Amino acid sequence: MKNTFKNEFKIGAALNTAQIEERDSKMTALIMQQFNALTPENVMKSEVIHPAWDTYDFTVADKLVAFAQKNKMELNGHTLIWHSQLSPFARKINSVDSFRTFFTNHIKTIASRYDGKIFSWDVVNEALNEDGTMRKSVFLEKLGEDYVIEAFRLAQQAAPNTELYYNDYNNEQPAKRNGCIQLIKKIQAAGVRIDGVGIQGHWHVGKVPLKEIEESIEAYDALGLKVMFTELDIEVLPRNFQGADVNQRMATDPSLNPYVNGIPANVLAQQAKDYENLFRLFLKHKDKVTRVTLWGVDDGQSWLNDWPVRGRTNYPLLFDRTLTPKPAFEAVLSLKN
């Protein structure tokens, strides 16, 4: 994939700890063969990298940086500020001044460590509600709505050689897109650098909103920003809500896990058509889209096996559980061959 689209955009994957530590040689070979951009699934999230007030754990994050450098891959840091998977001590901070100190030290310590070693940061992740208003997170509660501007300002100071992105899901939908645009304009009006916006791309088979995606690519580009698709997967299992809020859950029910013993060919064919149409759109806007990252390498790794229902058998990516290319993989490559 990386060679097929080398003249258009980077092709990325999100890696877990086992992949970063190269525990499976077949997996490592596939990653090196197919991808030229990497994002950590979890090891740079604050609960992992900053477990206590005065304690940082860079062990696996440093290994990821070394892996990316060794293989000449672009690395996107994910994520400096996010309300979920937050450092466990942070929610217990009562003083606003102390919370601001945590916020400042967290960004400066991590961003400065990797300045020049990684290509980009998701500085703030998922700060918006579906209607485009600011999410009532602990950051909004403690620091006010300008915390996003301040996060980008601090990241700009700490990592002058790193691109800075805002990342969210459903920000291709009109109401949330409008809120995202207003947020970006506020950052720009404050004279603070923002280089791009990430559209996560957690979509459902047969329901990929191509019209809204195209409108969003054009709208974000009009702000002078790069556009990335940062967490792409196309889910095949049923659920009763849209979006990717990790705090939402559904009760376990056999009807919600219909493909335990394999997935029907017609569902794989629809998924292939969805991926093909998506990548055709990305190619149409290759002057605006700079990276397309899959949220995982193979179906077995995907977070969608355990969310919003634990223990399901999902099939959202381009490689199956044996690392064999799926029809969707072939459909995407066929666009250039």
Cα 48 to its chain centre, rounded Å, is: 17
Are 26 and 323 within 8 A, CB to CB? yes
CB atoms within 10 A of CB 257: 16
Are 189 and 252 within 8 A, CB to CB? no
In this predicted structure, the answer to whether residue 65 has a pLDDT above a threshold of 90 is yes
pTM, whole model, 2 decimals? 0.97
Are 88 and 24 within 8 A, CB to CB? no
Whole-number average pLDDT of the chain: 97
Q: Counting beta carbons within 10 angstroms of the beta carbon of residue 65, is it exposed (0 to 12), middle (13 to 18) or buried (19 or more)?
A: buried
Helix (H) or strand (E) holding 275: helix 265-284
- Find out if CATH 3.90.79.10 is the number for domain 10-334: no
Read off the pLDDT of residues 153-187 as tens digits, 9 standing for 90 and up.
Answer: 999 999 999 999 999 999 999 999 999 999 999 99
DSSP 254: G
pLDDT bucket at 329, cuts 50 / 70 / 90: very high
- Map out the domains of the chain as residue ranges: 10-334
pLDDT value, residue 317: 98
DSSP 163: E
> Which residues are tagged catalytic?
126, 231
Query: Residues with Cβ < 8 Å from 144, sequence gap 6 or more?
Result: none
Handedness of CA 215, 270, 300, 318 (dihedral sign): negative
Are 229 and 198 within 8 A, CB to CB? yes
Are 194 and 166 within 8 A, CB to CB? yes
Q: Percent of the chain at pLDDT above 70? A: 100
Are 302 and 296 within 8 A, CB to CB? yes
98 CB-side CA count, 13 A: 9
pLDDT value, residue 214: 98
pLDDT value, residue 245: 85
Work out the average pLDDT over 273-291.
98
Read off the pLDDT of residues 196-221 as tens digits, 9 standing for 90 and up.
Answer: 999 999 999 999 999 999 999 999 99
How far apart CA 6 and CA 1 sit, in angstroms, is 8
Report the SS3 class of residue 30: helix
pLDDT value, residue 102: 98
* Count of residues in the chain: 337
pLDDT value, residue 337: 78
In this predicted structure, the answer to whether residue 240 has a pLDDT above a threshold of 90 is no
pLDDT bucket at 30, cuts 50 / 70 / 90: very high
CB atoms within 10 A of CB 69: 12
